[in-house]
Each structure stands twice: as structure tokens, then as C-alpha cells.
Amino acid sequence: MAVWETWRDAMERALYGDGGFYRRGERPGEHFRTSVHASPRFAAALATLLADVDAALGRPDRLDVVDIGAGSGELLVNLLDRVPAELAGRLVPVAVEVAPRPAGLPERIAWLPAPPERVTGLVVANEWLDNVPLDVVEQTPDGPRKVLVEARTGAERAGPEPSADELEWLERWWPLREPGDRAEVGDPRCAAWASVVARLDRGLAVAVDYAHRAGERPVYGTLTGYRDGATVPPVPDGSCDVTAHVALDACQVAGERAGATASLLTTQRDVLRALGLSGSRPPLDLAHRDPRGYLAALCAAGEDAELTDPGGLGGFGWLAQAVGTELPPVLAALA
């Protein structure tokens, strides 16, 4: 017998329920490619940003660096290898992930199922918000209706009217006009992000994700599945990752309500280029003077190019919000 449920309930169970995609310890890098997996130079750029945050905070005795949705912990491992020794001695690295702690992770990296209650330093949520479950709403001739899904097959049908809060969010951030128009109701992501910002005593919170802005929302939504390195239908049966792009502009407002005192919403390309990842090819004469150096520089340029490609990872949205301090100068220059 078919069981029909909202997309939010189906995603929650498929991703985080007993035996869910993330609960059973799947390695994200085996299913989809993030900036962390593309190159350790992503971590190098974040190490530069972390040093700027440290300076802005007056180099506190303890500096937290929290990775939400840490996967297998690669980002923090790479980050620790790239920060100066003086900073490393004060650094408290925390990985936040619902999956079991991976074998071989350095002991100094804490492994928690939820973010720490208080943070002074840097919080990074790289491709986390896109996995926060949400509901899908479709405009019908009778008005907006939640979309119900049958988890075993991914079949859909119209369900109940959205709540008053959901309708308010839709009208502000993703209005539906014509029958067949669909929206992914992002208020759970706004609440999740606000809870992150609210935990900052002083520091910077950064969300990096597939994103869209008001006026540019996709008409039919963005629900997608990933399995074994390929896109697949988003069937919420626990066999694949189920994701949807993030309305980071709405999250920005939620973060400001939660206490953010300065904000920047831009692209990964702009941020990483500002942090020194230019993607420029090394001069050809270096190949004659220092062949090994030339090959290393050429490899770095290729990795930078992938991380900053506006049609790929470089097109990801970056939302940076500061609490109790200003944006680091490298980000403030982009505002």
C-alpha cells in the first residue's frame, strides 16, 4: 500500500532516519564532488580567511573552527595542515556530522552530532543547507498545495494547503503565479542558519551552497538526487542523496535577525579570487628555469580554475555573516 508524505518528512527520513543516507556513514565524496574533494587549495583559502578572522578578533587564546556537515572530516584535516603553527596551537577544530566518526581522523578534531552551543571563531557550512529537509509547493488551479511523495517510487500528488507561515515565506521569497509553478519552501533552512548564527559569540559564519536569489528562482524547483557520482531521480527511499538549492538571500535576512552585524552574499569565484586563488597559468619561461616548479604551479592553476569556474563550483553562493566584529577586510572589500 502506498504511503504518501510531505517532501520534508520524506527527506528527513531518507537522509537522517534510521538507516538513512547520512546516518549509515556514506562517504559523500563517493557520490558527489564538492570543493573540499576538488582540491586542498579550498582549505588553503579558508586557512587564509581563518587567519583574517583571528586577527579581527584580536587573536584570542582559543579560536574555534567548526565544520557543519563535515562528511569524512577532510576539510578540517586539510585546514590544520595549512595554518601557521602559532594559530594551530590555539585552534579548536570541531566536525559536526550525524554519521559515525571515521577511522583515522586526528584525535584533536572533535566529532559532534550538533554544533557547539557557543562559538568564537569561524563556522563553515559547505553544502550543508541544501540537505536541510523542506517542503515542495505547487501552484494548482485551486491555489498552492503541498506536494506529497511516495518514498518507494518518487511518485507525487497534490496534498494540503501550506501553513500560514509557509505562505508568508513563499509570498516574500518565492511567489507562485501560474499553475504548475513549483517552489521549495526554504523556511527550515532559514531557521537552521539562524540557529548557527545565534551560537556565535564573536566571529564569522559562512554558508557555501548551490543557491538562487529572488527574481531568479527556477520555475519548477531544483530537487535532485546523487548516487555514485551521478545525478539520479530524487527518490526519497534512502538510496541516494536528496538535495535542493538554497535561497541564501532569505537565509541572510534570517541570520541578521539572529544577531549578524555584517553580511556579504556573493559567489565562490569572487571570494576565492580575493583569497588568492587566481587560476592564472605560470609563465612559460618557468618551465625552463624550474620544470618541477612549473608543473606544480600549472597543477595549482588547474585546481583554482575548477574551484572558481562560474559555471561550476565558482558559481556557488557564499553567505558570510559576522557577529560581534566586522567582516574581515578581504570580504568587506567585496561588499
Question: 227 pairs with which residues across the strands?
Answer: 230
Q: Tell me whether residue 200 is in a domain.
A: yes
Q: Which of 226, 259, 38 minimizes the C-alpha distance to 130? A: 226
- pLDDT of residue 294 exceeding 50, the answer is no
Range of the domain at 250: 33-134+186-211+246-276+317-326
Q: Tell me whether residue 159 is in a domain.
A: no
Average pLDDT of the segment spanning 121-150: 97
Q: Tell me whether residue 39 is in a domain.
A: yes
Strand positions, DSSP E, 141-232 = 143-150, 156-158, 182-185, 200-209, 224-227, 230-232
**CA distances in angstroms from 15 to 33, 41, 118, 152, 335, listed in the order given:** 18, 29, 27, 14, 35
CATH number, domain of 71, equals: 3.40.50.150
Q: Tell me whether residue 139 is in a domain.
A: no
Q: 33 pLDDT band (50/70/90 cuts)?
A: low
Amino acid at 42: F
Q: How far apart are CA 332 and CA 335, in angstroms?
A: 5
Q: 301 pLDDT band (50/70/90 cuts)?
A: low
- pLDDT of residue 263 exceeding 90, the answer is yes
Average pLDDT of the segment spanning 278-288: 60
Average pLDDT of the segment spanning 89-116: 95
List of residues 6+ apart from 54 with CB closer than 8 A:
60, 63, 87, 90, 121
Query: Would you state the pLDDT for residue 101?
Result: 93
- pLDDT of residue 285 exceeding 80, the answer is no
Q: How many domains does the chain have?
A: 1
Q: What digits encode the pLDDT tens for the residues 310-326?
A: 888 889 999 999 999 99
Cell matching residue 88: 594551530
Q: Tell me whether residue 73 is in a domain.
A: yes
How do beta strands 200-209 and 317-323 pair? antiparallel
Q: What digits encode the pLDDT tens for the residues 158-170?
A: 999 999 999 999 9
Q: Tell me whether residue 231 is in a domain.
A: no
Query: Would you state the pLDDT for residue 300?
Result: 62
Q: Tell me whether residue 58 is in a domain.
A: yes
Q: Enter the pTM of the model.
A: 0.92
- pLDDT of residue 269 exceeding 50, the answer is yes
Q: What dihedral do alpha carbons 36, 39, 40, 42 form, nearest 10°?
A: -60
Q: How far apart are CA 84 and CA 6, in angstroms?
A: 48
109 close to 77: Cβ distance less than 8 angstroms: yes
- pLDDT of residue 295 exceeding 80, the answer is no
Query: Would you state the pLDDT for residue 174?
Result: 97
Q: Tell me whether residue 332 is in a domain.
A: no
98 close to 16: Cβ distance less than 8 angstroms: yes
